Structure 1
Amino acid sequence: MHKSVISLSIAAALLAGCGSDSKKAPEPVNTPPESRDVTYDVRQSVRLNGQLEGKDAEGGITFSLVDPNEVKLGTLTINDAAKGSFSYQTDALEGTEVVRFKVSDGKSESISALTLRIKGGDPLYQHQWHLKNTGQNAFARNRGVLGEDINVNDAIASGATGKGVIVAVVDDGLEISHPDLSANVIAGGSYNLITGTVDPTPFSNSASHGTSVAGIIAAAGWNGIGGRGVAPEAKLIGFNFLDRDPSREIRNVQTFENFAKSHGASAYSDRARVFNQSYGNQPVIPGLMRENEFEVYQQVTTKSFNGKGSVFVKSAGNGYNYNFLGYNATGQPRYLLPKDFYTARDENRPANKGLPYHNANMSPNNTNLYNLVVSAGSANGKRSSYSSVGANVFVNAPGGEFGTYNPAIVTTDRAGCDKGSSVTQERPRTPFNGGQHPLNLECDYVSNMNGTSAAAPNVSGAIAMIMSVNPSLSWRDIRHILAMTSKQVDVNIQPIRVPLNTDASQLYEAVPAWFTNAAGFKFHDFYGFGRIDVSKAVAMARNYKANLGKVRISPRCEIIVL
């Protein structure tokens, strides 16, 4: 019995040790998550990638916005809810966003504020439809069409700005002291072909063409004034190749010597990888370019920068409706018009059977293999009414219309209300010009820049953007990227057919519709390979892998890929 009692006592003790007590084990203590206020500075149009602050001792937290409607000036996206990484982008000129975010572990949460300070935007960017077309009117009577632009947004947001690329503006000169250009002008890098100094500012107060061209290429971005260039951090050098000597000591500035100085064949200009040539003529009959100029184009394109070469961008001309022949001895403009120019207007039909009066191929420099020829497009996505066209057009870019009825390009003008196109006037061509608009009281900008002269610098800026993200690209790579990424516009345009003789039943297709060429690319005589798309071009340049092979150019300029 004694042994049995001991056994029962041991068994009872064992059962007691196996949890017969009703008390539960204590649960682990939950530590509330912590968060902290965060502040970032933001640049207009540039994507900010940031990090929300939060932590929890046990881990396993998520980040979210308390109220997404608190974001009013831009777009805020939490990219990783577990880590709190986010991106933010805005086109606002300035302002502050305060957005609450919370950190939660599923049981408790902590709330803090994200402050986004938008600074240094460009006030005229909202009117620059060629960069981002929202349907704005750019101070004209009529509006453009949403989306008909060169699509710079994603490229700018990704950080591409044209930095490190030099663009030469070969024009009537360049006002290097302009407040919206000076930051991007290389000090001492320009050349005055008349005086031999480093200031190519035009002699005439009314001369503003090159200054406006330069603004389209690389007006400084995020400085709180004016607009923005396509490549807002590219560098500029200028040459007054189209200027006139007021003393008449130099009768002709446009000599071959000055051509070489300003087009990459001298130390004055050989640092440029892009040459913008918003000039040309519209001859009555086709002409031949000078052989020595051709040699300059060839050598600079194929041999400079260790064989990568520079790119020459050329405006196609403004002669679709008539030929501008220059000025007579009294300074009056001279034109060559189609026979039915005036009667066609009265009869509400196109003159010259709707055909272009000046074909871009008639201008010698435009048929040069090494010039990348650009036609102009309007804010509605179609050919600008004046733009010369032809089979030599490589791409299309915004040139706008005349700015009064339909949008032109908003860009830099000569500084001050006594110089350039925008001067003090009681009845200016647009309400933006004339010195009374609050965004242009100093008359430093103009809203009626147009022509293929405005289209070419859009392409020069685009090329600077491409080169800035991949400096190893050659001149052929640049062209390939543009051909691959440009957008087919005006897709339903019909061919232009005209009767061969008096028999209206026999029609000749003088201008075909869009067609696919032998290389498999869509092409049109009005638009080349299409309107440039900067963001697509920059994206392709970043990951460029194409091998174009070696090339041999025959004496007739036929390209043969080996």
Structure 2
Amino acid sequence: MTGHFIAEFINEDVYPSMKVGEAWSARYNGSGVTVAILDDGLQTDHSDLDANVDTINDYDYQDLDDSPMPPNGSSHGTNVAGLIAAERDNNECIVGVAYASKIIGVRLIGSYGITDSQEAQALSHCIDKVDIYSNSWGPTDGYGFWDPGVLTKSAIQEGVINGRNGKGVIYTWAAGNGGSQDNCNADGYVNSIYTIGITSVQQGQNAWYSEVCAAALAATYGGSEQDRYLITTSIFSQCSDDNVQGTSFSTPIATGIIALTLQANPELTWRDIQHLIVLTSSRNGLNDSIGDWSTNGANKEFSLVLGFGLMNAIAMVTQAQLWNTVPDQQIYSSITRNLSLKTSGEALSTDTIEVTTDCPIRFLEHVTIDITFSYSSYRGVTEIYLLSPSATYSNLLHVRINDANKFSNAGTLSWTFMSVHFWWENPIGSWNLYFGSAGGHSIVTLDSWSLTLYGTSTQPVNGRQCGVIHLYDL
């Protein structure tokens, strides 16, 4: 370990900077914003957190009681909490990004399995009081396609419709730590249009554990054994840098920046926040060690791994002050192509859906495809790419060795893949789906697919541009 890493990035001693210190200088500290931390518990009487903890509305969905205090050894949630809301000027461990925000501990993860109903309840816990739900948990890394249950999906959708008096609560989600061998599009929580997937950087590039991820919107520092661990609050009122690295910890930093932004403009909707992140995040000289940076048809640079790049707190709060709510969301669903198109060898096969002018969208946000495909063996060698009319390629699925080994027999998969890479593009024209098998190790058959587009009819930023649940710890 070469040093500790929270004060340095906030004090802007690390380049590139997330400009948190500048946002503080502009008098933003998260005051008036409430964050629910869904995790393995929260030490509510930690001396660096207690002034900001709401002990009236917290809850434990494992033990079904009113105390989210973690069992001995469970420090993850308390680690997360410090990065958001550790107090300032108290000579304790650290200072959180939104050090004046209010936090509600919601213990969801523990030794007992959690049901769809429990997840749904936790994701709507105190919905009339919460602005942001910070989630640093998700499916097992490396293999599988894990989707939230019906009740959980409904709770998240209800949250963005009815939360914050109709403006929508914000769901931040850790994009996963599977590295180059995993893909966050197989994670149905991050893969949702209603959540904000956050991945990690270390100095100079994406963190070594960052996944290939067409659904990740942006990145923050997440700590790295190759660089510097983060330091944050821990159980037993301690301060720890014990292996604090992962998208678990980049996510609460993003949550804190969003809290500053909501303080700057409490009228922002859940979609406004996503547009602001896209607008203000950038490459900042960071390398993508897995793929490369590309520029989409709306002249917005994006990465195979890092989404639209590093978040910028001062840019977020500055833009928020003058922000006008984005136009209503338009949704367009294409025809479903039913076919039986097989691959041969290493060559990728392709199919096309034409989006005509009857589509009302001219500025894209999210793009999803519903696809059913079959494979003769080794599911994890399947590759899927989507090419937009603006010639933007988005990698929706790449080789996952662990998935190939675990699912080596023939089978069929139906899944919804989501990409943010086409943000603000015009969708009219030919959309091409490319699919196949890396190395020709399997015969892939495209059985059906359809396209769903989300966006606006008019310019959204015109004039303003100056399963089995495991914690994502390593």
Q: Normalising to structure 2: TM-score of the pair?
A: 0.67
CA shift in 2, pair 1:492/1:148, >3 Å: closer
Partner of 2:98: 231
Letter in 2 for 1:386: Y
Equivalent-residue separation in structure 2 for 1:515 and 1:127 (angstroms): 30
Contact 2:130-2:164 at 8 Å conserved across structures: no
Partner of 1:132: 11
Partner of 2:80: 213
Larger radius of gyration: 1
Equivalent pairs counted in the alignment come to 337
Once the two structures are TM-superposed, the CA of residue 519 in structure 1 deviates from its matched residue by 3.2
Once the two structures are TM-superposed, the CA of residue 300 in structure 1 deviates from its matched residue by 0.3
Q: Which one has more relative contact order, counting CA pairs under 8 Å at least 6 apart?
A: 2
CA shift in 2, pair 1:241/1:284, >3 Å: same
Partner of 2:456: 561
CA shift in 2, pair 1:493/1:212, >3 Å: closer
Contact 2:37-2:133 at 8 Å conserved across structures: yes
The reply to whether residue 370 of structure 1 matches residue 194 of structure 2 is yes
Within a 5 Å distance, the mapping from 1:71-470 to structure 2 comes to 128-134=7-13, 146-203=14-71, 205-244=72-111, 251-252=112-113, 254-264=114-124, 266=125, 268-281=126-139, 282=141, 284-320=143-179, 356-378=180-202, 380-402=203-225, 406-416=227-237, 443-446=238-241, 448-470=243-265
Match of 1:522 among 292, 301, 326: 301
Letter in 2 for 1:561: T
SS in 1 for 2:117: helix
Partner of 1:111: none
Contact 2:39-2:106 at 8 Å conserved across structures: yes
Contact 1:407-1:448 at 8 Å conserved across structures: no
Once the two structures are TM-superposed, the CA of residue 385 in structure 1 deviates from its matched residue by 0.6
Contact 1:125-1:228 at 8 Å conserved across structures: no
Equivalent-residue separation in structure 2 for 1:447 and 1:456 (angstroms): 18
Letter in 2 for 1:534: A
Equivalent-residue separation in structure 1 for 2:287 and 2:29 (angstroms): 34
Once the two structures are TM-superposed, the CA of residue 236 in structure 1 deviates from its matched residue by 0.2
Contact 1:178-1:415 at 8 Å conserved across structures: yes
Once the two structures are TM-superposed, the CA of residue 287 in structure 1 deviates from its matched residue by 3.9
Once the two structures are TM-superposed, the CA of residue 489 in structure 1 deviates from its matched residue by 3.1
Contact 1:411-1:447 at 8 Å conserved across structures: no
Equivalent-residue separation in structure 1 for 2:206 and 2:56 (angstroms): 39
SS in 1 for 2:138: coil
Q: Which runs of 5 or more residues in structure 1 are unaligned?
A: 1-123, 135-145, 245-250, 321-355, 417-442, 497-510
Once the two structures are TM-superposed, the CA of residue 304 in structure 1 deviates from its matched residue by 1.5
Once the two structures are TM-superposed, the CA of residue 522 in structure 1 deviates from its matched residue by 1.2
CA shift in 2, pair 1:269/1:174, >3 Å: farther
Letter in 1 for 2:218: V
Equivalent-residue separation in structure 1 for 2:330 and 2:262 (angstroms): 24
Partner of 2:465: none
Equivalent-residue separation in structure 2 for 1:448 and 1:221 (angstroms): 24
Match of 2:274 among 479, 487, 495: 479
SS in 2 for 1:415: coil
Contact 2:206-2:286 at 8 Å conserved across structures: no
SS in 2 for 1:372: strand
Once the two structures are TM-superposed, the CA of residue 306 in structure 1 deviates from its matched residue by 2.4
Equivalent-residue separation in structure 2 for 1:158 and 1:533 (angstroms): 14
Letter in 1 for 2:296: N
Q: Deviations over 1:476-517 (max 9, x none)?
A: 1111111111121345657x6xxxxxxxxxxxxxx3x22222
Once the two structures are TM-superposed, the CA of residue 285 in structure 1 deviates from its matched residue by 3.4
SS in 2 for 1:532: coil
Letter in 1 for 2:212: V
Contact 2:85-2:97 at 8 Å conserved across structures: yes
SS in 1 for 2:196: strand
Once the two structures are TM-superposed, the CA of residue 447 in structure 1 deviates from its matched residue by 5.3
Partner of 2:395: none
SS in 2 for 1:161: coil
Once the two structures are TM-superposed, the CA of residue 127 in structure 1 deviates from its matched residue by 5.4
SS in 1 for 2:68: coil
Equivalent-residue separation in structure 2 for 1:127 and 1:196 (angstroms): 34
Equivalent-residue separation in structure 2 for 1:126 and 1:283 (angstroms): 27
Equivalent-residue separation in structure 2 for 1:464 and 1:377 (angstroms): 20
CA shift in 2, pair 1:125/1:376, >3 Å: closer
CA shift in 2, pair 1:275/1:493, >3 Å: closer
Letter in 2 for 1:412: T
SS in 1 for 2:267: coil
Letter in 2 for 1:238: G
Equivalent-residue separation in structure 2 for 1:516 and 1:471 (angstroms): 32
Equivalent-residue separation in structure 2 for 1:178 and 1:315 (angstroms): 24
CA shift in 2, pair 1:533/1:560, >3 Å: closer
Partner of 1:550: 328
CA shift in 2, pair 1:444/1:126, >3 Å: closer
Equivalent-residue separation in structure 2 for 1:125 and 1:237 (angstroms): 27
Equivalent-residue separation in structure 2 for 1:191 and 1:491 (angstroms): 40
Letter in 2 for 1:130: F
Partner of 2:471: none
Which structure 1 residue ranges, 4+ long, deviate > 6 Å from structure 2? none
Once the two structures are TM-superposed, the CA of residue 133 in structure 1 deviates from its matched residue by 4.0
Provide the aligned C-alpha RMSD in A.
2.2
Which structure shows the bigger proportion of residues in strand conformation?
A: 2
Contact 1:316-1:389 at 8 Å conserved across structures: no
Once the two structures are TM-superposed, the CA of residue 222 in structure 1 deviates from its matched residue by 1.8
Q: Which runs of 5 or more residues in structure 2 are unaligned?
A: 334-367, 369-451, 458-474
CA shift in 2, pair 1:554/1:240, >3 Å: farther
Letter in 1 for 2:83: I
Equivalent-residue separation in structure 2 for 1:560 and 1:528 (angstroms): 18
Once the two structures are TM-superposed, the CA of residue 234 in structure 1 deviates from its matched residue by 0.6
Within a 5 Å distance, the mapping from 1:28-107 to structure 2 comes to none
Equivalent-residue separation in structure 2 for 1:126 and 1:366 (angstroms): 26
Once the two structures are TM-superposed, the CA of residue 554 in structure 1 deviates from its matched residue by 4.9
SS in 1 for 2:330: strand
Letter in 1 for 2:105: G
CA shift in 2, pair 1:492/1:262, >3 Å: closer
Once the two structures are TM-superposed, the CA of residue 257 in structure 1 deviates from its matched residue by 2.2
Q: Deviations over 1:443-489 (max 9, x none)?
A: 43335311000010011001100001110111111111111111213
